[in-house]
Structures are given as structure tokens and as C-alpha cells.
Structure 1
Amino acid sequence: MNFPLRMSLVLALLPATLLAPQSTSAQEEMREGKTYIGLMGTRLNYRSVDEELLGQGWSSMAALVLGTHVSEYFHAELRGGSGLAAGTIDDQLEVNIEYFVSWYFGGHYPISSYANIYGQFGLTHLQGEAELVPGAQGQAYAEIARKEYPGSSFSTSWLAGLDFEVVDDGFVFLEAGKFFEDTDSNSNVFQYSFGLKYEF
């Protein structure tokens, strides 16, 4: 079973196992006004890198997360990070993220005394690079490598996630969503993340 399918199953099944009445203390604890900071690792899945090329590939990156709960059910968040390991598409093109900055606004809702579901939508600015693998023959990939990658440095992003309070104000979170779309190369990149965060 591949990684995106495993993540999708986890995100789909966990809420059902966690739905339980919340304790009075959890219901009374307010998150509004709290700030949180976190660290996350992400696997990026590159899909349909060109409108005629359906090759896929994976790369890895890490990021810092800083956010605030603007109300009991809404939050704003800033993320910044860089690539850890480049990915190879069809053994032809090597791609990597040099750095990125994302801004999100989202909503969250408790599904138990220790777990929350959330969704976020925002904008991402990034700088990447693409190089042909030595010996690569694909002309279309060569065109991408000759240009700046990605050609469009801004894109909308979205994600859905679950977080679990494992210690007081300390959370583990799982996420899946779309990282960016490059309109020049018709590249679609999806994100699957795991991280830790602390609220104060």
C-alpha cells in the first residue's frame, strides 16, 4: 500500500475511533489567544509534472510552524522550511525545494477530549530547482530543466489534518493536502506531513 493511500486511510479512520463525549474540563479549556510553535517533516508527491507527462516522484522537506488561535475555532499560521532530499521523476528529472514560506487560515473542531480535526487554506511562495538526471533522454523533461522551476513561485495551498494532545499543551499532528501547482509546467505537488507542536 503506497504512502498517500496509507495517510488517507489514517485520516479517514481515526476520527471514528476517537469520537467520544468530551470531559467538562476539556470543554471549558479555551484555545482562543493561545500561540503555538512546531516542527514538521513532509513528503512531497509530484504528479503530472507536464500536461503530457504523468510521471510521479517524491521528495522530502522540513519546516517550522508558528500559529495563533484567533478564536476558539479559527487559527492563522505561518510555515517556513526547505528541502531535505531531492526526488526523481521517471528516472529523468531531479526536483527539490530550496525554500518555501506558507501562510494559512483555517478552522479546527474537537472530536474528543484530546483530538481535533482541522482544515487550512492559504498561499505558498517557494523556490525550487530541477535538473536532468545524467543520461536522461526525455526532451520534455529537458525543457523543464532549462527553465526556472517552478515557473510560478506563488500558489494556493490547502490541507486537512488531525492533532492529538499527548502531554499538557503538546500535540502530535498528521496532515494531507495540496502544496502547490506550477502553472508553467502543469506540475501538481501534494503534501503528507507529520509533526509536533506546543501551545502556550
Structure 2
Amino acid sequence: MSTEQDQKLSNNKTKTVKKLVLVVFAMFGFGFALVPLYDVFCDITGLNGKTATTAASVNEDGIDESRTITVQFISRTAKGIPWQFEPMINEITVHPGEMKLVKFYAKNESVNDIIGQAVPSVSPGKAAIYFQKIECFCFNSQPLKAQEDVEMALQFYVDAELPEEVKTITLSYTLYDITGSVES
């Protein structure tokens, strides 16, 4: 091989390596961007049962008394959080547009102060965008001292635009210990 051919081959290898490195960095960056992109997508579409993380405005469209929706409440604690956490009522019947207030009970059963954060999910997923929370304990972290208990409020309505085929909505909360991520 001539020196010119060696130089050309070397240049081609260098270009290929540069392209591969660029692809690796692009894939790495895309991997990091997926989580916020997924969150935005779920917020817009209501996919995966994600509900809004901020308060909705009060319903001013009136109440549709011709329809009845059953709303079920489920709660659970993430592994390792020593709290009792449960809805004070498991199920309620509402008319679309009707404002309701329900409460959840939480007790820190440990000897340590713990900060909890409830993360909501709605099923069926398509109902998430129609479940409007006016006030929710899930909007803020919940600090509880050792052995302290609290009643936490959820005020909501179901938007009248909820598809007719949806007769039951299940609101599920998972409570996580965020003490380590808040304190520093």
C-alpha cells in the first residue's frame, strides 16, 4: 500500500470513530431526556394514570346529575416506610362536576421523624385528565414526627367531559419516604 492509501484509510477510520462516539453521546443524552419527555407526554395525554401535580381550578360548569361515577381510593406505602396510611373512606359516588372532600389517615409508627410524599395514579389511565384535584396532600411533602398522626384532605371533582363508558375511577396513592432527599 502506498502512503496515500494508508492516509486515506486512517482518515476513514478516524471519521468512523468520531461518528460512533457522537452516536454514543447522542444515545446517552436521549436516555436522560426520556424521563422528562415521558412525564410531559403523560401529563398531556393522561397516559399511565398520571394526575396533575398542581391544583385545578374550581368547577364552574355545573353538575351533571344524569350520571354517577364511583371513585375508589387505594393507598399503600413503599417498602421501608413505617407509616400507617389509608383512606378514611374506600369508595364514594359522585356526579360529574360535583365537588367532594375525602380524607386519608397517616401515622408515623417509627421512633424517627419522617417526611413522606404521596404519589397518585388514576385507573383507567384515560380518566386521569378528568380527575381534577382542587386540594391534595400529594401536592406537598408530609413531615410527621415519631408516633404523630394526621388526617390529610383531598378535594376533587370529576370533569363532566369524562367519557360515558367510564363508570368507575380508582385513585391510588403510594407513600414514599423522602426524608433523605429533603434533609441535607
Report if TM-score (shorter chain) is over 0.5.
no
Query: TM-score, structure 2 length as denominator?
Result: 0.32
Higher relative helix content? 2
Structure with more of its chain in strand, by fraction: 1
- Bigger Rg over Cα: 2
Q: Which has the higher contact order (CA 8 A, sep 6+)?
A: 2
